Amino acid sequence: MKNIDKNEKASPHVLPVLPYADNALEPVISANTLHFHYGKHHQAYVDNLNKLIAGTEFANLPLEKIITETADKPDKKTIFNNAAQTWNHTFYWRSLQPQGGGEPAAVLKKKIEASFGSLDACKKELATAAMAQFGSGWVWLVSDGAKLKVVKTGNADVPITSGLKALLTIDVWEHAYYLDYQNRRADYVNAVLDKLINWDFAAANLR
Ligand SMILES: [Fe+2]
C-alpha cells in the first residue's frame, strides 16, 4: 500500500504527514492530544532514531529492516525501541480516520466473521486485549496465514518481528489517551473502535 511506503524509506527518517487535520478526530481524540502525541512523542522517536543510527550499519537501512535486525538484540534495544515506535505510530495514525468505525467492506468482514464469529466479537477481543496489556503497549488485528487474530505487544514491540502481518493497531500507552480520558483506557479504546477505526486501511493491508 502506497501510504506504508513512507515507512520503507531509509535515513534520515522523517515524520510522515498526518493523514488528517489535528482536530479531525475530535471529540474522541482531541487536537491537544494529537499535538503532544504526534507533534512531540512521534517526532521525538524519529529524531532519536536518526541520531542513534547516524554513522552506523543501520544508517542506510529501511525502517522495517532496522526493526527486524535489532529485535531481540539487547545491545541494540534503544535503536529498536525508537525505530519500532516510529513505525508503530505511523501505522496507528493510518489505523484511524474521521468518521471511522462502522462496518468493514465485505471481504474483510467475512474474514472477521470466520475468525471471531462476528464483528462485535472481534471488537470485544480488541478491547479486552487492550485492557489486559499491563502498562504501555499496543493492541493489533493481524493476519496469521488464513486466520485473523488479535495480539497485544508491550512497550515498542511490534508483530512484524513474529512474522505476523499487521492490519491495524490501537496505541494503549497512556500518552495516547490520558489528556482526554485520564486513566479510562477502556472508554478510549471503545470510542476509537466505534468512531475512528479505519477498516479500509485494515482491508488494504490484507492484500
Ligand atoms: Fe503513542
**pLDDT for 135-185, tens place per residue?**
999 999 999 988 999 999 999 999 999 999 999 999 999 999 999 999 999
CA of 114 to the centre of ligand 1 (A): 31
**pLDDT for 186-199, tens place per residue?**
999 999 999 999 99
CA of 174 to the centre of ligand 1 (A): 8
- Confidence band, pLDDT 50/70/90 cuts, at residue 9: low
pLDDT at 4: 42
Instruction: State residue 134 phi and psi, 5-degree precision.
Output: -75, 125
Choose among 62, 86, 82, 94: nearest CA to 169.
Answer: 94
**pTM for this model (two decimals):** 0.94
Q: Give CA–CA dist 6/65, Å, rounded.
A: 14
Give the percent of the chain with pLDDT over 90.
Answer: 92
pLDDT at 170: 98
Q: Give CA–CA dist 120/112, Å, rounded.
A: 10
Residue 2 pLDDT > 60, yes or no? no
Q: What grid cell was written down for 85?
A: 515506535
Q: What grid cell was written down for 79?
A: 535503536
Q: Give CA–CA dist 14/77, Å, rounded.
A: 21
- Confidence band, pLDDT 50/70/90 cuts, at residue 11: low
pLDDT at 10: 63
Residue 207 pLDDT > 90, yes or no? no
CA of 53 to the centre of ligand 1 (A): 21
CA of 89 to the centre of ligand 1 (A): 6
CA of 37 to the centre of ligand 1 (A): 6
Q: What grid cell was written down for 22?
A: 489535528
pLDDT at 8: 54
104 forms beta bridges with none
- Confidence band, pLDDT 50/70/90 cuts, at residue 54: very high
**Ligand 1 is a single-atom ion; what residues have CB below 5 A from it?**
171, 173, 176
CA of 137 to the centre of ligand 1 (A): 9
